[in-house]
Every structure is written in C-alpha cells, then in structure tokens.
Amino acid sequence: MLETRDLTKSFGAMQVTRGVSLRLERGERRVILGPNGAGKTTLFNLLAGELAPDSGAVLLAGEDITALPVARRARRGLSRSYQKNTLFDGLSVEENLGLAAAVHCGQGMRLWGDSLARPEVREIVAEVAEMVQLVPHLHARVSEVSYGVRRQLEVGVALATRPSVLLMDEPTSGVGPEMARGFHRLLADLPRSLTLLIIEHDMDLAFDVADTITVLNYGEVVFDGLPEAARGSRLLQEIYMGDWSDA
C-alpha cells in the first residue's frame, strides 16, 4: 500500500534519513520507534510531501508519488496527523471535522451554500465523530475542550478525509496514562481497511497496536519485524538504554 525505496534526506552536512526502505501492506499497523533525532518526523514529512527527498522514491498503491505535492498526495488517500495539534481553534469540533470532510467531498471550493450542510459531509462528520469518540463534544469550540479531546480531534480531522493510509505522529503525545490507554483502544478499533503508520514513544502503544515495528536510529532502519522479536532485540535495548521485558 505504501512503500519507500532508498529514501535519503540531508540538511546541510547532516544526513537525517539514510536509505530508508519500507513496505506496508494494506491494513497493516506499523509503529516507528527511535530515540530523539532518529529522523522519524523527517521520514513522515518525506512521505507526506512536506519535504522533498534528495534521492529515493515514495510509492502509494504501487504508484510513484515522490514528485506530487502535499495536497495531491492527500487527495490520493495519504493523510496525516501532527505531533503538535494543528486544529482550527476558533471553530467547533464539528466544524473542524466538517472542514476536512468538505475538502474530501470536493466542497471546499463550492461558491453557493454552506459546505457543512451537505449530506455527504454531514455523514462523514457523524461517522468520524463516532469513530474517535467525539460525539459529546461536537458543538464545543476547540479552545474549550481538554487537551486529550484535542488529540482525538487531531486524528479525527485526518480521518475525515477518508484516507487509505494514515500517518500519525505521536498521537498520545502529552496525554496521561489513562487517556493513552483509551487512545490505544481507539486506534485498535479503527477500520482494518486503513493502513496505519504511527510514530510513537509510548512502548505500551507500540506493542498494543502494532502488527510490525520499525526502529530508526541516526536516520537508518536498524530493526524491522514483529513486536515479539523487537522485545527480545539486544540492539534495541541498547538504543533505548533500558529493558523492555516488562512492557
């Protein structure tokens, strides 16, 4: 479904992504682990089109999308959520979801009538609100809801574009352990047709949600395999300087 071939990116003399090759099957849930500065977010930016690689290719459903800009990748089904919330604070939760759904339904350029009143947009908003448990908060302004709800909405906005591949940059960043567990359940309940690539620091999430785990270190893939294999990997324990046996 999503593939990278020998993806490389440097900023000046610093090579932040070194020949990264990944292959995600349809419906796969893969978690990317790695210490700070390992190049995880840069990899996401390369996948989403926010950065252009120095070399290598990105393929979506077998088609080379390396040269496509961000918006065209999104329209082909590649959506992302951000580590820091990128929501529209002055709007309600419903309007945030509606804005994304309207773009997906081709209503974002519509000159006559409110795009959020369109049945197809309302249908997506209702469906996504249910999916990410935002129904009780739909009419609240983003500035009025808790941080945890905003994280859910961050994912909801990305889902409202009905993607086939969703890139999630640390979805549980900044939330407490209780809320993080709720988030794990939420991610686990997402439709299996959706391919998920998640950057995560939370090991529990990684082992709860992931079908496969990829570990980056200094921009290189140093591990690519099943969660069970990751638990026993000596190399990964050294990278993280800890023991995961209790995770």
Partner 1 sequence: MFRHTFLRYAVLALLAAAALLRALTAGYFGLEILAEILILAILVLALDMVAGFGGMVSLCHGALMGLGAYAYGVLCVHAGLAPLPALAGAIALTGAVAWAIGAICARAHGIFFIMATLAFGQMAYSWVFETPLLGGDDGLGGIPRPDLSLLGIDLSDSRSFVLFCLAATALAYGAAVLVLRSGLGRSLGGVMHNEQRMRALGLTVWRVKADVFGLSGMLAGLAGALAAMQVMYISPGLLAWTTSGEALVVVILGGLGTLVGPLVGAAAFVTLKHGLSGVTSHWHLVVGLILIAVVMSRANGLFGWLEARWGARLDRRLADATREDTPREATNDA
- Measured in whole angstroms, the distance separating CA 72 from the mean position of its chain's CA atoms is 17
Using CB under 8 A as the binding rule, the residues of this chain from 103 to 132 that contact partner 1 are 103-104, 107-116
Quick one: 50 or 220, whose CB is closer to partner 1? 50
| CB neighbourhood size of 225 (10 A) | 12
Quick one: 158 or 186, whose CB is closer to partner 1? 158
> Pseudo-torsion of CA 232, 236, 237, 239, nearest 10°?
180
Residue 68 makes contact with partner 1 by CB under 8 A: no
Long-range contacts of 71-75 (CB under 8 A, 24+ apart): 73/48, 73/49, 74/48, 74/161, 74/163
Using CB under 8 A as the binding rule, the residues of this chain from 15 to 54 that contact partner 1 are 48, 50
| Residue recorded with tokens 């567990």 | 181
Shortest distance (Å) from residue 118 CB to partner 1: 8
Quick one: 115 or 217, whose CB is closer to partner 1? 115
Q: Which stretch binds partner 1 (CB under 8 A): 77-85, 171-179, 216-224, 235-243?
A: 77-85
Residue 88 makes contact with partner 1 by CB under 8 A: yes
Residue 100 makes contact with partner 1 by CB under 8 A: yes
Of positions 41, 42, 152, 161, contacts partner 1 by CB under 8 A: 161
What order of strands is seen across the sheet that includes strand 14-24? 14-24, 2-11, 55-60, 63-64
Beta strand ranges found along 25-175 (DSSP E): 29-33, 55-60, 63-64, 78-81, 165-169
Shortest distance (Å) from residue 230 CB to partner 1: 30
Using CB under 8 A as the binding rule, the residues of this chain from 200 to 219 that contact partner 1 are none
**DSSP label at 52?**
-
Judged by DSSP in three states, 228 sits in helix
Question: Applying CB under 8 A, which residues contact partner 1?
Answer: 48, 50, 69-72, 74-75, 79-80, 82, 86-91, 95, 98-100, 102-104, 107-116, 157, 161
